[in-house]
Amino acid sequence: MRRHPGAPFLLAASLLGLLAPWASGTAASFERTEHREPCAAYNELRSPFFGDLHVHTSLSFDANALGVRNLPADAYRFARGEPLGLQPYAAGGQPRRTVRLSRPLDFAAVTDHAELLGELHLCQTPGSPAYDSLVCTTYRRWPLLTYFFVASRMLSIAGPERYSFCGEEGVGCREAGVGPWQIIRDAAEQAYDRTSACTFTSFVAYEWSGGPGGYMTHRNVIFADERAPRLPVSFLDASDGDKLWTRLEEECEREGCRFVTIPHNTNLSGGLLFESAANDAFDAASARRRARHEPLLEVLQHKGDSECRATAADELCNFEKLPFARMEEQPFPFRWQPPGALTFARDILSEGLRIQRRIGVNPYEMGVIAATDTHLAAAGLADESGYPGHGAGGDVTRHEIPLVPDSLAFNPGGLAVLWAEENSRDALFAAIRRREAYGTSGPRMLVRFFGGWTYPSDICASTDLVERGYRDGVPMGGSLGAATGGAAPVFIVSAMQDAGTGEQPGTPLERVQIVKLWVEGDEAREKTYDVALAAGAEGAPDPETCAEPAAHGAASLCTAWRDPDFDGSEPALYYARVVERPSCRWSARVCEDNGVRCKDGSSVPRELAYCCDGSAPRLIRERAWTSPIFFSPAS
């Protein structure tokens, strides 16, 4: 292991390949399909692009019911660095809160719910056939109440039914969705930087939101370019993943579009997003189809972490876990149940290995990203500091600014990072497809992860680490073929802490881990290895004041690690987890911002009692998760 204490950012950046756009060694991995200026900044060794592929605006029924007024164009302006006004609004229509990203995003996708897109439009359009209906009239007067009525009928149920005002077979409401869908598409087009500066990429996208039995079977659908179906395929049109992909395949055959789907909140899905190996649901063709359409999994967002079970032997799995397994259980603690099977990424990825062992193809060969799932249109606002809440399912913000901006179980969510040659739709979509992606819980740490058979143990000292990483192996998301000569694979992890900003410096790194999942017989196994540890990283901020300790931890960590327990006869996968030193969670920052001093009871308002009674975690270990590298034995 080689450690770089202090701040040798130039060396580390060189190792990460950020300063070598002229280097050769990889061919462009994407096909140019767009009519646009070529990007001036092109890096064959790929650069990290930070973004958010899960953003809701007032076109989503739930956000709208909570008083959100921002539209897709506002979300993209915010993502590009402009300020964004948030509810509540003053009588004159001025927002009473404003937020702004400390650093703009490189890409984003507005993913409003496809369901109720038309209904909402009709209810808000005077003169529409539905405007004076009971549902619409009630919605305009009592939006939150009506949202509960409507959501329980159309979103949290196995067999959703449209309202009578939608007409025969719901055609009226389906067709009414064309207008808002065009707003989404136009906003994406206008935000996309087609100049050679390539400052920002947007994707046409939406969310398919199923809720059978109250479990969330949600997927974001991302289109490669401006071509998309005339209407988004919703849960009302296609009630499971298989039907969704079939409909999208048909639509895209007609429209010439390309798409991927990204499932999220597996922690609230009841395991319904994925098939168990025991169900024999796959043959090789259907497994390949699934892996092609669903290359990524969202592993963290505001509604919790979906990486691994808190009960696992891995202590760092106890991170941003929701205490309930269904959203509708949230208000009823006596009904809270532990999450079932196939609700965490590790379970799902392991299940994929078991299926692969049986049929030779892994349907769940997925990489990972994180996202915010903001319902305020605040794309990429994943900072613990100044968190305004996510705007749905949490506290009511239509009327007032709450002292505590969100339910304590929620968090600001995270970011997606794509390694691509340039910031264009073609390049980023290709990165999604090949899973060269990782997620972070908010900070912008830079992480490279390579796997190969011949990397030398001192490769971290090499200035051409990245070039050799690509040349002699595969990056995150890639697949390693069979071993030669019985050797074990070597994995390179190179990580740099978030450089932060002048006002908000980044937090040093504490450790790098590699998580290995494999099957033995038919049993799924997992093991977490600490592969790089920073000296003196045990320092943590004062939990009451959030004051940072003197510098601890490492600005960067790099290691080449060989699996000591490798068995070349079993499928396996490896992913890296890069962990920051502990820092203050958003909920603790609210305590600090409001002057709470636990020794002085008079400084503790009732809403902030959690600051002193231990009912909410005060510290967080921010982290990044890379997409796995998959190993397949010779068949």
Return the axis-axis angle of helices 345-359 and 284-293, rounded to nearest 10°: 150
Closest CA to 113 of 375, 478, 496: 375
- Site size for another protein (CB under 8 A): 26
Q: How, if at all, do strands 629-631 and 572-580 pair?
A: antiparallel
Pick 263 or 405: Cβ nearer another protein:
405
Residue 398 interacts with another protein (CB under 8 A): yes or no: yes
Residue (400 or 600) nearer to another protein, CB: 400
Q: If 0-12 CB within 10 Å is exposed, 13-18 middle and 19+ buried, where does residue 143 land?
A: middle
Q: What are phi and psi of 446, to 5 degrees?
A: -105, 125
End-to-end, the C-alpha distance of the chain in Å comes to: 34
Report if residue 135 touches another protein, rule: CB under 8 A: yes
The three-class DSSP label of residue 52 is strand
Two tokens at 224?
A: 């490669």
Neighbours of 445 (CB within 10 A): 26
Indicate whether 399 belongs to the interface with another protein (CB under 8 A): yes
Range 164-203, binding another protein (CB under 8 A):
164
Task: Name the segment binding another protein (CB under 8 A); options: 69-77, 109-117, 152-160, 588-596.
Answer: 152-160
Does position 235 interact with another protein (CB under 8 A)? The reply is no
Phi, psi (rounded to 5 degrees) for 376: -105, 5
157 is a contact residue toward another protein (CB under 8 A)? yes
Each residue 299-338 as x (binds another protein by CB under 8 A) or -, in order, gives --------------------------------x-------
Q: Does the protein bind another protein through residue 403 (CB under 8 A)? A: no
Q: Which of 37, 98, 142, 487 binds another protein (CB under 8 A)?
A: 142
Q: Which stretch binds another protein (CB under 8 A): 140-148, 350-358, 499-507, 607-615?
A: 140-148
User: Closest CB to another protein among 316 and 396?
Assistant: 396
164 vs 174: CA distance, rounded Å = 13
> How far apart, in whole angstroms, are the C-alpha atoms of residue 259 and residue 204?
10
Task: Locate 122 and state its tokens.
Answer: 């009709």
Q: Give the residue with the Cβ less far from another protein, 100 or 399.
A: 399
- Residue 2: name the closest of 579, 463, 557 by CA: 557
The two structure tokens encoding residue 413: 């969510």
Q: Which position among 29, 70, 156, 587 is part of the footprint of another protein (CB under 8 A)?
A: 156
Which residue number, 49 or 215, has a Cβ lying nearer to another protein? 215
CA–CA separation, 131 and 14 (whole Å):
60
95 touching another protein, by CB under 8 A: no
CA separation for the pair 226, 74 (Å, rounded): 19
- Minimum CB–partner distance for residue 69 and another protein (Å): 12
Least gap, CB of 331 to another protein (angstroms): 6
Which element (helix H / strand E) includes 532?
A: strand 523-533
Beta bridge partners of 438: 417, 626
Residues 574 to 633 in contact with another protein, rule: CB under 8 A: none
Among 11, 13, 312, 396, binds another protein (CB under 8 A): 396
Q: Which stretch binds another protein (CB under 8 A): 100-108, 334-342, 395-403, 619-627?
A: 395-403
Q: Does 134 sit near another protein (CB under 8 A)?
A: yes
Candidates 32, 96, 100, 140: give the one binding another protein (CB under 8 A): 140
Closest to another protein by CB, 27 or 91: 91
Counting beta carbons within 10 angstroms of the beta carbon of residue 124, is it exposed (0 to 12), middle (13 to 18) or buried (19 or more)? middle
User: Of 618, 609, 594, which Cα lies nearest the Cα of 543?
Assistant: 618
Give the shortest CB-154-to-another protein separation in angstroms: 7
Q: Segment contacting another protein (CB under 8 A): 92-100, 130-138, 580-588, 624-632?
A: 130-138
What does the binding site for another protein look like in residue numbers (CB under 8 A)?
A: 134-135, 138, 140-145, 148-154, 156-157, 161, 163-164, 331, 396, 398-400
